[in-house]
């Protein structure tokens, strides 16, 4: 089986851009009928949060995957150790990994043994370090740009930092449902709000707890 895996980390990004490039790789390598897995999730979070990626892992372990195509290696993991461990897993189950942005992976297959493994391990380590370093730097830049005034945090652009606070109407709705004996899961299925990108979001259990117990966000 040939698999394309695309991942974006926020609602603002479009996985279709990655998919188009990955299909170009399949065409160049003559890899037909790839199965596509797409999700919106951070590559730093635990694997149990990445449902589509977990499905791919299970298929690999069942020896049902021959080739895995991604747009960039950081789509798999941004953590260097996890990325290297994943490459070792794929090697053990004879899965080839290809990346639109790291075309050197295709060239490594033409290097005689054992130099192909040596070069592959070295390049994966380097790319893992680069992905992790870039993610760390981005996090530091974001934190450094935050400014606080009158107890409110702002980004360098002057926008309020953090999640928007819920309206009084939402809080009253939560308290009313709770007083009627509704459980947190039941409340979270009924109460929703619209985020800054105009996306419909159902209230989380943590927010319900904050409202019921009178805690500040």
Q: Would 155 be classed as within a structural domain?
A: no
Average the pLDDT over each of 90-94, 184-188, 194-198 and give the range with the smallest value: 194-198
Mean pLDDT of all residues in 205-213: 83
Q: For residue range 142-157, list pLDDT tens digits in order.
A: 566 555 545 455 554 5
The reply to whether 109 and 189 lie within a common domain is: no
Cis link prior to 63 (omega < 30° from 0)? no
Q: Would 133 be classed as within a structural domain?
A: yes
Domain count, the chain: 2
Q: Would 41 be classed as within a structural domain?
A: yes
| % the chain with pLDDT above 90 | 24
Q: Would 147 be classed as within a structural domain?
A: no
How does 61-95 read in b/e, with b if 16+ C-beta sit within 10 Å? eeeebebbbbbbbbbbbbbbebbbebbeebeeeeb
Q: Provide the CATH number for the domain around residue 28.
A: 3.40.50.1390
User: Looking at 108, 125, 140, which one is the last position of a domain?
Assistant: 140
Helix (H/G/I), strand (E/B), else coil: 134: helix
The reply to whether 104 and 27 lie within a common domain is: yes
Q: For residue range 78-95, list pLDDT tens digits in order.
A: 777 888 888 889 888 999
Q: Would 174 be classed as within a structural domain?
A: yes
The reply to whether 11 and 83 lie within a common domain is: yes
The reply to whether 82 and 16 lie within a common domain is: yes
The reply to whether 132 and 197 lie within a common domain is: no
Its pTM surpasses 0.85: no
The reply to whether 170 and 111 lie within a common domain is: no
The reply to whether 136 and 33 lie within a common domain is: yes
Average the pLDDT over each of 79-83, 105-109, 142-146, 176-180 and give the range with the smallest value: 142-146
Domain with 119 in it:
2-140
The reply to whether 46 and 128 lie within a common domain is: yes
Q: Positive or negative, the Cα torsion across 181, 214, 185, 170? A: positive
Q: Would 148 be classed as within a structural domain?
A: no
The reply to whether 172 and 126 lie within a common domain is: no
The reply to whether 128 and 191 lie within a common domain is: no
The reply to whether 30 and 116 lie within a common domain is: yes
């Amino acid at each position: 089986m040939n698999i394309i895996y695309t991942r974006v980390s926020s609602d603002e990004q479009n996985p279709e851009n990655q998919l188009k490039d990955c299909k170009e790789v399949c065409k160049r390598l003559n890899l037909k009928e790839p199965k596509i897995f797409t999700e919106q999730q951070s590559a730093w979070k635990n694997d149990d949060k990445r449902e589509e990626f977990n499905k791919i892992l299970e298929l690999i372990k069942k020896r049902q995957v021959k080739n895995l195509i991604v747009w960039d290696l950081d789509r798999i993991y941004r953590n260097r150790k996890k990325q290297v461990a994943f490459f070792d897993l794929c090697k053990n189950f004879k899965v080839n990994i290809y990346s639109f942005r790291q075309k050197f992976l295709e060239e490594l297959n033409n290097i005689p043994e054992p130099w192909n493994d040596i070069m592959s391990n070295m390049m994966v380590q380097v790319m893992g370090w680069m992905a992790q370093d870039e993610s760390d730097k981005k996090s530091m830049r974001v934190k450094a740009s935050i400014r606080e005034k009158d107890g409110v945090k702002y980004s360098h652009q002057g926008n309020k930092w953090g999640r928007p606070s819920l309206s009084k109407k939402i809080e009253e709705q939560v308290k009313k449902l709770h007083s009627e004996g509704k459980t947190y899961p039941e409340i979270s299925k009924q109460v929703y709000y619209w985020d800054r990108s105009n996306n419909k979001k159902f209230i989380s259990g943590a927010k319900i707890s904050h409202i019921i117990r009178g805690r500040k966000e």
